[in-house]
Structure 1
Amino acid sequence: MSGAVSASGDRSVAAGGDIGWVHTGDRVTALPPEALAPVVCPPGLVNVPRKAAHFVGRGEEGALLDEESETVVISGLGGVGKSSLAARWALRQAAHRNPVWWITAESRADVDAGLAALAAAMQPALIDVLPQEALRERALQWLSAHDGWLLVLDNVTDPDDVAGLLARAGRGRIVVTSRTTDAWYGIGRVLTLPVLPAGEAVELFTRVATHAGPRDTTGAEELCETLGQLPLAVEIAAAYCGRTATSPLAYLAELGRSGGLGNAEEAVARALRVTLNRLSATVPYAAGTLRLLGWFAPDRIPALLLPPFPGVREALGELAAHSMVTLHEDGSVSVHRLVQAVARRPPPGDEHEQREAIERVRRLAETAFGVAAPLDDVDPADWETWRVLLPHVEAYLRCTDPAGDGEALLPVLVAASGYLSLNGLYEEAADVAERTLAGCERLIGPDDPVTLGLRGALAGTLASAGRADEAIEAAAAVVRSTTEVLGADDTHTLKARCCLATAHVKAGLVHRAVILQESVLVDMVRVLGAKDRETLVACSELAGIYRAVNRTLDAVMLGAHAVAEMSVVLGEEDLDTLIARINLAGLYAGAGATDRARADYAELLTVCVRLFGDDHPYTVHVREALDAPWLHDAQGPDDEQGPDDEQGPE
């Protein structure tokens, strides 16, 4: 018989042997046959945004990309055209490379999400099945074993965020874009992209301005020079001149009235201001829509985050016509990061009024998240929606002050943290949970039961992240707070004590966990009664902890008692009862009672298929346990004690 198995967390499912414990509060996965087959990349797999419809110049830089065989980092100012060059070159590579895949890489979470999306594109059947962590690993393994592929990592802000990928993906080509120029030594060749030469800047202006028909381009060279020959600013100005039949000289006059030019961001800000001032008279939603887009991630902002008003769609059309956003066939919207940065800050002059308007739009962004986000983070059917939304939630968190979070955002952050935890991204989940907790403490008070519950959830997330000492300290603090605020016998306090025991299990301090869980179970029986649901669930959890310390007979006896009581009180097909029954079958298997385990698994399989269907995670888990070879190896019970462990702080 294999070694001890252990479980923790609310409503866990246990099985002995190689199956291990499957936590419904952590992650349960139903695997289709495709998950076990070798990954085969379909031909012509290309995911590259069309960044620039009017691309000029950059021939020398493109040739350098052609010649290099290693990683190349394209660096330069925001708005200088790094992403446009990378996208243009990547699309040309699609003829002889596969896949050609674009990843927005502003954070480590973005990189992980992009790799997961690549794995899902290779095997679409896994989209709603494998969690992001598993999909990411699947992509990395494929990249390390194959050549002929191309990845573009766009807008990397910290080289450490892509270090793991670069270390494991050595057989293809990687192109990085980044504003950072001095942090890439030993990683790849740095290609610093300058602003456009004067002639190419004028060519870009002329192409955009005359796209729909002839226009007066007198003064284009002077205008481009005033804009610093920055491609993004030139394109915005040219789109305005072409759309409104304004000459470059007249535009220069308007530009002068909006203030002097400074750095690259200021050049874009002035060009945007001229356009928005004109649009506001005829397209009232234009400025507000652009400001709303500023709070999300720059690429593929989904339609479900945008207000479903006709005026918003009209505004998007006009913004696209003026080269401020890009519209995609699926209804999503992309916008340059520099445009977003400008949209989030007030213009000089009327800062107070504009700050209020920007704050109102920030609240609208929070409301949009609340409408779009599935608040049940456990349902795998919602995982694809979360994969789409999560980069935008994370972008919002990066560009906002936590002190300004509103109540509408808090349920979204709770669900986002749960989704991240379910997908094995425990550090990211803990970061979001900590921000959520700070918001709850500020908005509804540190002693509110909701806040105390979130503190308990954070303790569990810290434990899953391997931050054992912090988890135990946090869980112990929750117990102290709930005891002081709500009383020692309050249900919240009792559940917090169960959480403290769980934190000890996840920290490997299983003997201390036994003491804690036994103690709280006694109090639950006294306060709630022996037949209360929470008492019976805690009883089943204690059985799992007993198995973790090799008290196998105690585990089986207590697990059997819990199942018998739950079957009578809650019903044999209640979800908690079913989970306890699956746990008990695993305990029988671990004790060597394989005949009983097989019989229980066979009965449970029939029930799970009828209640949940063939592909539900519980059904798959029971079927795999029933088919596992170790279940057919008869061995006697093992009642040895596990090794002593340290006791953490209470």
Structure 2
Amino acid sequence: MGIIPRQADCFQHRDAADALSGTVATGGAEVLCHVLSGTGGVGKTQLAAHHARTTWETGTADLLVWVTATDRAAILSAYAEAAVAVTGTDDDRRLCTDDPERAAARFLNWAQSTDRRWLIVLDDVADPLDLSGLGGRLALWPPANPQGRTVVTTRRRDAALPGHRIDVGLFTPTEAVAYLTAKLAAQDRQDHPEDITALARDLGRLPLALAQAATYLVDLHLSCADYRTRLADRSRSLPDLVPEDSGLPDAHRATVAATWALSVEHADRLRPRGLARPMLHLIALLDPNGIPTTVLTSPPALAYLAARRTPAQGGHRPGHHIGTEDAADALRCLHRLSLADHTPGTPHQAVRVHALVQRATRESLPDAACDALARTCADALDVAWPDTERDTALARALRANAAALTSHAPSALWEPQAHTVLFRAGDSLGHAGLVTAAVTHFQDLHATARRHRGPDHAEAFRARRRLAWWRGMAGDAAGAARAYRELSVDELRLLGPDHADTLDTRHALAWWRGMAGDAAGAATGFEELLTDYLRLLGPDHLHCLVTRGNLIHWRGEAGDAAGAATAFDDLLADHLRVLGPDHPDTLNVRHGRAWWRGTAGDAAGAATGFEELLADYLRVLGPDHPTVLTARSDLAHWRAEAGDAAHAAAAYRALLADSLRVLGPDHPNTLHARRGLARCQGTAGDAAGAAVVIEELMADYLRVLGPDHAETANARADLARWRAEADRTHDGGTA
């Protein structure tokens, strides 16, 4: 009964087909109903049709009923016709027309009581409510008879769906390539395998998209490379890249773009009504591989949901208050309709979505609305982005989402001014230790700022300032100093000598001048800057206090370590008076005082100072703050210098474990901890072992920071030291 869809050309056998053939669930219970669930276009109907065809052809069913179950009326009609087939009475023929619900009831009663084998396929169930017995209606779910089997295909993932659910996903990479290759070969096409693989990847391995793209490019005699070029062209929409309705392959009922429209309508009708569609708008501009929950439940996101709530749903007016629970429930609506995957257990990548669903959603929005949406998404990212990145997984996810947003709406984030998230993303790369990537990011940002605003605009200057900073952090201190010097000239010309940005640039210039090897010049620069800060801001302003600290530091680097230690005592007194004992800058001054105390020759006193400081850092900032990890490293260093190699090694070992967890293996601070641990190993007498560790570490320094970075040079010096020490030990032993 019913018409089984013909098998698609180049049908791919998939794991879901084997799961569908199973008769026993994981717990050992017999499976009478399988539910194939997945987003539109993944091939659920084809899998069900293959199973039905195989069941019939092998003679394992005496009755096969295929139902296109898009609404209740269609299901009733199919059941009524089945009643006629199994009874053949004139009464059932009359009921089929006059009272299909009674005829359907007779068929279901027969299916419940018969000893004949049957298979009922309910294809494309749009709403489980259509099959329910709610309100005294006839329940249309097939009965649980050991002689019968039911297969359901649906985009829904409601917990109320009966039976054993089989989640149908995308083709695997191998299946996608095999399908495209066979589809093209059937038309005597032999495209390059790399182009086929790339096209499968570009289309996200969605079976429906692959089929329609293959038909389109064959019809227009395009190569896979040509099609990829059109697909990447933002001026073309998805309907422009598939066949017209009359030319759809494999009896498809809708194009890729239209496939999800009905699902969105159904999702929007679920509680909280009217929120699924605007939530999908937000998701459409972010990273398909994972969006943090905090972004989609942030105040800017909630405001967008309230303003854009579908007005016809549930009687809520746009602007009605929306809370975080409403936003979370809207995500569940999208999940239930397989429009997105919502996994709250992975909060940093809680929401995943197919890239073509995103594209179809974006293309449904007017350009102006999409631009406003992009700024909302940027606001949401900015709010969710912590000032201090203690969670590297969250920071990585936020950067990925910022990159996706920038790629989808590159111009919108520059109006009315450059959005803060553009700068946050670049700084986050640097804070994660990806300093080369940070340099590249700000090079691109500066070029974009010049293009949008011109070379002398404040936003172009801001990008230059960050670019220079990360250039220095990437190891090019001289280049950073040169860039800041050039920027200082431009800011003096356009902003004047007393502008805050001009003074900030002079501050950075002095710092990188010192890092480039000119400690005396750095001290002079900070001394001159301090004079201007005192004139403009007064002695107790934070900028004055910080500048005094940097002046002391570079005087110490210029050779006056004892004077630096003493000067930090005086500076600490002013910090305590102005800022209090727990202010981060007060703690930083204590950090500098302890360091210069050790550099002046009192290693034990430095270790004691860092030990006391660490307790306060932990209390104020928490154990995973980057500043706390740095203080732990310095404490281990001065313990080693004071002769306590065993405790220093233990401290470095614990620090390395935490750095790997918090910062990741490639962060410069993690590499520094490995180097410190090797130094303790060498100091304890195992120079050969230390050399081996540093040799392994050198490969990572070269890969992460490059050959010219100061830290790479320090590691290279350590390697030479421990090799030489190992050779001396070996020669002494053999002598």
TM-score normalised by length of structure 1: 0.50
Q: Whose Rg is larger?
A: 2
Structure with higher RCO (Cα < 8 A, 6+ apart) = 1
TM-score normalised by length of structure 2: 0.45
